Amino acid sequence: MTQDTHEPESGERKPPSRRTVLAAMGAVPILTTTASVSASASVSASASASAKGASGTAAATPAVVDPAARRQTIRGFGGMTHAAWIGDLTAAQRDTAFGTGEGRLGLSVLRLPVPENRADWSRDLATAKRAAELGATVFASPWNPPAHMVETFVHGSQTDARRLRHDMYGAYARHLNDFNGFLRNNGVNLYGISVQNEPDYAHDWTWWTPGELARFLRENAGFLNTRVIAPESFNYTKTLSDPILNDPAALANVDIIATHLYGTPFTNFPYPLFKQKGAGKELWMTEVYHPDSTSSADLWPQALDVAEHLHHAMVDAEFQAYVWWYIRRGYGLLREDGHLSKRGACMAHFARFVRPGHVRIEATATPAPNIHVSAYQGGSSIVILAVNKTPSPVNQQFTLKHSTASRVSSWLTDANRNVARQGTTGMSNGSFTVTLPARSVTTLVTA
């Protein structure tokens, strides 16, 4: 990722904008300002949702949640800070981003850049330290190696493309280790470090071929003193990660297979080869903004696309971490004034309630058209996320197998509310029915 498409760097050549690339892929949505229909999120104990209610139509199928069918362990939901490009978060914004109380985002993952120059290594330290103090996992990604390690070459029509010199692989590993050590000596323990940000979209940084990535992992990554992350493809181009999974020596030295999701259709979210060969490894989504970076994060119901995207990332892709691009931006999780945006509220439904160590459990993913359901377990509590993208309220029944829970609490985001608590009610034999307001996301937590 480079700077925003509407913030050109004076005097510097720019790669094709992401909007240009995504438009060519057919991924830029048609924006809409249609207002959503508002309704209160009432929760009532019920064993059936077959009849129409006064406030909504009935969903076609009950959503069955099975805690015995365990899927991926969640590492967290997070965002990126990059002080050199957009300025650092303020102290208050750090607490809003990584705190878990009312009005907070609840992020549990922070992504940092690895500056190529040592003089810049302290630039994001204050945010990293505060995020770590609040319990967040911190990891880092490089855009470029130090300049003396780089050579230029011809890459298609680009005559000044950059790559790491093959005789500098060992020196580059030491550079990454030194950055890791710098943070550790300043109170931040990196969970992992990436080999390269978007090596397949590197018009403005450093290119890597699949073979070069596999070689570095085989020969040099074993010397890194933290978990190793690769390859961070621009849009989940699996030809970049397949060679790693198919190379036992390279795979042995990588801990997290990571990708970005710019323009990636939901149909490409599953990764069968990872399920086949990735035992013992983690699968992360380490950068995205969605659906665009050109409209306000408070535009509704467009912001609801974030909740749908999160749903598919958890259920279809089975990612263990989901990381947004800039935390604070006009299209980000926090507005420039530091308050939650609508996109941020959709993220907070996941981040605040689905905490590191929770396990996704099987649930009826689409009980009705445009109704998306996922479920997670942490201790004895079950968290259910329900996204209603329809223009009408829906009465949705949930049935929890083998549940001893006696009540459920709910939080709601719609056109008029942001992660607003809706109260608590009892459950009957593991069943309850929720009215999902039109164009809304609801979090349900059992106790």
Residue from 160, 118, 108, 166 nearest 139 by CA: 108
Angular region, 236: left φ>0, alpha ψ -120 to 50, beta rest: left
CA 208/CA 77 separation, integer angstroms: 27
The letter for the amino acid at 377 is Q
Label the pairing between strands 282-287 and 43-44: unpaired
Minimal CA–CA distance to 77: which of 283, 343, 354?
Answer: 354
- From the candidates 116, 198, 232, 308, give the one annotated as an active-site residue: 198
Please give the helix or strand (H or E) that residue 239 lies within, else none: helix 238-245
Distance of CA 270 to the CA centre of its chain: 15
- Whether 442 contacts 417, CB under 8 Å: no
- Cα–Cα distance for residue pair 445/447, rounded to 1 Å: 7
122, two tokens: 């302290």
Residues 49 and 62: beta-carbon distance below 8 Å: yes
Is 9 one of the annotated active-site residues of the chain?
A: no
Contact between residue 197 and residue 1 where contact means Cβ atoms under 8 Å apart: yes
Give the contacts of 14 (CB within 8 A, at least 6 positions apart). Answer: 2, 8, 204
Q: For residue 140, give the H/E element and its range.
A: strand 137-142
> b/e for 270-281, b at 16 or more Cβ within 10 A?
ebeebeebbeeb
Q: Please, are residues 78 and 326 in contact by the beta-carbon 8 Å criterion?
A: no
CA distance linking residue 395 with residue 446, whole number of Å: 18
Q: Cβ contacts of residue 29 below 8 Å, gap of 6+? A: 291, 292, 302, 305
| Calpha distance 185→224 (Å, rounded) | 16
Q: Which of 116, 232, 282, 287 is catalytic?
A: 287
251 burial via Cβ count (<10 Å: 0-12, 13-18, 19+): buried
Q: Structure tokens of 371?
A: 């109704």
Asked if 287 is an active-site residue, the reply is yes
Whole-angstrom distance, CA of residue 75 vs CA of residue 89 = 23
Active-site positions? Answer: 198, 287
